[in-house]
Chains A and B, each alone.
Chain A
Amino acid sequence: MNLEEYKGVYVFAQQVDNEINSIAFELVGKGKDLADDLGTDVTAVLVGSGIKDLADQLAEYGADRVIVVDDPECKEYRTEPYAHALASVIQKFKPEIFLVGATAIGRDLGPRVSARIHTGLTADCTQLDIGDFPLTPVPGKEQKHNQLLMTRPAFGGNTIATIACPDFRPQMATVRPGVMQKRPRVAGAKAEVIEFNPGFTPDNKYVEIMEVVKAVSDTVDIMDAKILVSGGRGVGSPENFKILDDLAAVLGGTVSCSRAVVDAGWKPKALQVGQTGKTVRPNVYFAIGISGAIQHLAGMEESDLIIAINKDETAPIFDVADYGIVGDLNKIVPALTEKLKAELAAK
């Protein structure tokens, strides 16, 4: 493999029902940072059916180029036609970096593509940098420059590892949604659009979609919320989440929860913050009756401001909270809601 042939930063622009997912814009934003460091540009790869019109949106968030793979076989996500699409793009255009969102789709697609083209894939990255590998010179080993350094939590968030892929291209990573920042939208920005169809011939690997069942849900995605009022087992009962709902309503926030709450059946999985739930970074995160297991902290510790209320002063949540209040949530939360109502009404 001649590594020099591989140029440019590529990102998979995930769309569902011809609507681009937020992760695509996050990856374009991060991809642009990496491309700037490398002196190259960023290309978004859009796969679907009837999706050409979406290319401009990617340009507005920073894509220099958009490769569009538009084919009826790619209407709904299936592993095989999508893996074929990305592997074909990689073989033809030879990117040095290829980023995929660590979504339910990306975590299925990434490994299949990386196995097909024989390269490394680092899962669920929370940080990406360009740098040297090895990080510091090691006698007898060539130090390579301009490598993608991919950082990710492991062992349930207890350790953090930085991984490189020095001898294979592209360097592939899946990236946790909600971690990378979008660039500000530039209305009217245009990108070079390249239509590319590698041809799709169904074989044994094409599964048949018998039915698509969309969850009927009017809940706000907790990853988009600016203020999260998050409850744990300490809230005590599903009914008692009412006091969190009230606080969230006053602040224009959204209620989320810990894994214990989902396991107890009090709240749906979609509201779960943490390692096996969602990564959130709101402006304000209220952790109410949440002890703060390491798996929970992994999903929320990047929040700008963390306010914890817990009656157990030894709860690990206090180790990451900016402001921790040791006390009874049943007394504090309703009183806080009333006080905020009064404050906001006075404005």
Chain B
Amino acid sequence: MKIVVCIKQVPDTKGGVKFKPDGTLDRAAMLTIMNPDDKAGLEAALRLKDQYGAEVTVITMGLPKAEDVLREAMAMGADKAILVTDRVLGGADTWATSQTLAGAIRNLDYDLIITGRQAIDGDTAQVGPQISEHLNIPVISYAQNIKIDGDSVIVERQYDDRYHVLKAKMPCLITALAELNEPRYMTPGGIFDACKAEVTVWGRANLVDVEDSNLGLKGSPTQIAKASDKVRKGAGEKVTLDPAESVTYIVGKLKEKHVI
């Protein structure tokens, strides 16, 4: 079985977000990590590899330094790594990104494609389903409990109040949640091998069946009109009182606002 896992290098928003004096995001000052949902997707692929035997290829689109997450993935156990990088791909929205990744994946044999549900920098959850559409294969998003049954995959798909047990013929695409599993650590041997392993680098010329008009900033239907720091409503009153006074204070405010 051949599994392709799409991963993304993202700024670590947990460690605090840094801004330049002009208010734009200072990516250089922020640590980068493998996107958590993608890491869960990789772990799911590696578990399928452990259980059924599989070749796991990780692929990312990004700046040359995104190679770091590919090596991390190989240190965890991925077999092959592909970096898709090219100036003409910059500034892509989810449409152009999914076109790019689909164009790269068309070079590969695959039974299963796994993506993270969403990346923590954009939170859109769009690229996975859009790749599946471009490749004309089924998608199961928010996957849990992934099993292989002959030429099909059986997955639990979570909704608000229920889950469906779904069976899809491979090839298909599934999107994974960080809650899916606890990703394994890199092993010392794995890190050693990953440093030496080859990362395949592809550019625009390697993308199959994709028009220039669908790539990068120019190929992106959505455009940013404005981006800014979130303006929060100002703080109200803050008081430090003993418990009895605190209670009187809160009850007073609830009366004032006609809550009681």
Query: A residues touching B (Cβ–Cβ < 8 Å)?
Result: 16, 76-80, 83, 103-105, 107-108, 110-112, 114-116, 118-124, 133-135, 149, 153-168, 204-215, 217, 227, 251, 275, 283-284, 297, 301, 305-307, 309, 313, 318-328, 331-332, 335-336, 339-340, 343-344
Asked if B51 CB lies within 8 Å of chain A CBs, one says: no
* A-chain residues with CB within 8 Å of residue B133 when the two chains form the complex: 83, 111-112, 115-116
Highest count of chain B CB atoms <10 Å: which of A79, A155, A320: A155
In residues 210-233 of chain B, which contact A (Cβ within 8 Å)? Answer: 220-233
Q: Is B85 an interface residue (CB 8 A)?
A: no
Known contacts A120-B222, A305-B259, A321-B235, A207 near B168 by CB under 8 Å: yes
Q: Which of B154, B167, B238 contacts A318 (CB 8 A)?
A: B238
Residues of chain A with a CB closer than 8 A to B223's CB: 133, 163-166
B130-159: CB near A (< 8 Å → 1, else 0) gives 101110111111100000000000100011
Pick from B42-50, B91-99, B189-197 the stretch touching chain A: B91-99
In the complex, B125 has a CB within 8 A of chain A: yes
Interface pair B257/A208, CB less than 8 Å apart: no
Complex alpha-carbon distance, A135 and B140, angstroms: 38
Complex contact A104–B139 (CB within 8 A): no
Name the residue of chain B whose CB is nearest to the CB of A21.
B160
A135 partner, pick from B225, B239, B247, beta carbons under 8 A: B225
A331 touches B243 (CB 8 A): yes
Chain B residues within 8 Å of A328, by CB: 243
25 pairs across A/B with beta carbons < 8 Å? A77-B159, A79-B141, A115-B98, A115-B134, A121-B124, A121-B126, A123-B124, A123-B125, A134-B225, A155-B11, A158-B229, A159-B25, A161-B226, A162-B226, A207-B138, A207-B140, A209-B164, A213-B165, A214-B162, A251-B260, A324-B239, A326-B240, A327-B242, A332-B247, A336-B251
Q: In the bound complex, do residue A207 and residue B166 qualify as a contact, i.e. CB atoms below 8 Å apart? A: yes
Are B25 and A212 closer than 8 Å at their CB atoms?
no
Nearest-neighbor residue (CB-CB) of A311 within chain B = B240
Contact B230 A159 (CB under 8 A): yes
Q: Are B225 and A323 in contact, with the CB atoms below 8 A?
A: no
Segment of B1-9, B52-60, B115-123 in the binding face:
B115-123
Q: How far is the CB of B154 from chain A (nearest CB, A)?
A: 7
Judge whether A112 and B132 touch: CB under 8 Å.
yes
Taking the closest CB of chain B, its distance from the CB of A293, in whole angstroms, is: 9
The number of inter-chain residue pairs (CB within 8 angstroms) is 255
Q: Is B254 positioned at the interface, with any CB of A under 8 Å from its CB?
A: yes
B129 at the interface (CB under 8 A from A): yes
**How near does chain B come to A174, taking the closest CB pair, in angstroms?**
9
Nearest neighbor of B259 in chain A, beta-carbon distance:
A284
CB distance from A321 to the nearest CB of B (A): 6
Q: Does B202 touch A at the CB level, under 8 Å?
A: no
Residue B187 is within 8 A (CB to CB) of chain A in the complex:
no
| A155→B121 contact, CB < 8 A | yes
The closest CB in chain B to the CB of A158 belongs to B17
**In the complex, what residues of A have CB within 8 A of residue B249's CB?**
323, 325
The minimal Cβ–Cβ distance linking A56 to chain B, given in whole angstroms, is 24
Question: Which residues of chain B are near A156, meaning CB under 8 Å?
Answer: 13-14, 17, 120, 123
CA distance A157 to B14 in the complex (A): 11
Q: With the chains together, A214 CA to B249 CA distance in Å?
A: 44
Q: How far is the CB of A55 from chain B (nearest CB, A)?
A: 23
> Is the CB of B241 closer than 8 A to any CB of chain A?
yes
B106: Cβ under 8 A from any A Cβ: no
**CA of A215 to CA of B246, assembled, Å:** 40
Given contacts A207-B166, A313-B240, A335-B247, contact A104 B142 (CB under 8 A): yes
A123 vs B172: C-alpha distance when bound (angstroms): 23
- Alpha-carbon gap, A160 to B230, bound state (A): 5
Residue B28 is within 8 A (CB to CB) of chain A in the complex: no
State whether A340 touches B260 (Cβ < 8 A). yes
Are A326 and B239 in contact, CB atoms less than 8 angstroms apart? yes
Shortest C-beta distance, A26 to chain B (Å), equals 15
